[in-house]
Amino acid sequence: MDKKGFLNLFKVEDEQIVVKLWEDMELSSSIDYYISTEEFFPPNIWDILEKTNINGMRFLLKGLTNESEKKNIIILPRDYSGEEPEFQLVFFKIDGTNKFKTLEHKDFLGTIMSLGIKREVLGDLIVKDNVAFGVIHREKFHIIRDLDKVGNLPVKISEITEGEVPQSEFKEIQITVPSPRLDSVVGEIANSSRQKSTTLIEEGVVMVNYVVQKSKSYEVKEGDVITVKKLGKFIFEKVLGENKKGKIKILLKQFI
């Protein structure tokens, strides 16, 4: 696959970060050694890398947690036979515990962005009880290492182990639908009519497994991750059976 064919796999709006990825892939091939990228890539990019044979290369992925959307990538050239490389990442927490204000995701992210860091070199953030947990490439950690305030509130930043990052929490939801079609499932998630859910799908605000899905008749299956903009992210956990009217009962797990 050449550069043009590679770029055609992705959306135009992702071109800048995809071009950088291609350059890293070319370097990896030319030196016959792995390359650790500094960026964290969105699911519409890493999902394609996992599913596509690109010149026999392999891609290792890691995010803040297993469920994180943004993932760092290590590129391994064709026929690489060396030791499995380690990710050069720093897991960190920003402790903003205080008695006066609840700090939200936007407060932590806005402060970090104000330091001049590019969004793509920062992984996901999880905020829980005024503490933000995040991950960044080790070469970029120095940019945020001396962070001591979020807004007007003092904070303390420190390195942590990957095991100290809290796991995602879920809320179980049961829905009943005529079929596992995407428009039916989204309609229940949005508590709206089939027509409204179809509009949401056609407008491109619904993703399945982190890729925009515009087919209302797409059949959702167990394990699929459904994201509806402004409504949240859900895992299609399992089919629970049918009711007396022949409708399907489904268990969803909503990220909270």
CATH of domain 170-255: 3.10.290.10
Evaluate whether 46 touches 73 at the Cβ level (below 8 Å): yes
Backbone torsion region of residue 138, taken as left when φ is above 0, otherwise alpha when ψ lies between -120 and 50, otherwise beta: alpha
**What is the reported pLDDT for 255?**
84
58-62 β-sheet, strand order: 35-41, 71-76, 58-62
Q: Which residues of the chain have pLDDT under 70?
A: none
Architecture of domain 89-164: 2-Layer Sandwich (3.30)
DSSP state of 65: S
Q: How far apart are CA 14 and CA 44, in angstroms?
A: 9
Q: β-pairing, 225-228 with 206-208? A: antiparallel
Threshold 0.75, pTM exceeds:
yes
**What is the reported pLDDT for 14?**
80
Q: How far apart are CA 35 and CA 25, in angstroms?
A: 8
**CA neighbor of 20 nearest in space, from 117, 144, 28:** 28
**What is the reported pLDDT for 176?**
94
DSSP state of 169: -
**What is the reported pLDDT for 24?**
96
**What is the reported pLDDT for 170?**
87
pLDDT tens, residue by residue, 88-146: 999 999 999 998 899 998 999 999 999 998 889 999 999 999 999 999 999 999 999 99
**What is the reported pLDDT for 60?**
97
Which residue pairs, CB below 8 angstroms and at least 24 apart, start in 232-238? Answer: 232/189, 234/173, 234/189, 235/170, 236/180, 236/185, 237/172
Classify 3-76 by CATH class.
alpha beta
Ordered by start, the domain boundaries in the chain are 3-76, 89-164, 170-255
- The reply to whether domains 3-76 and 89-164 share a CATH topology is no
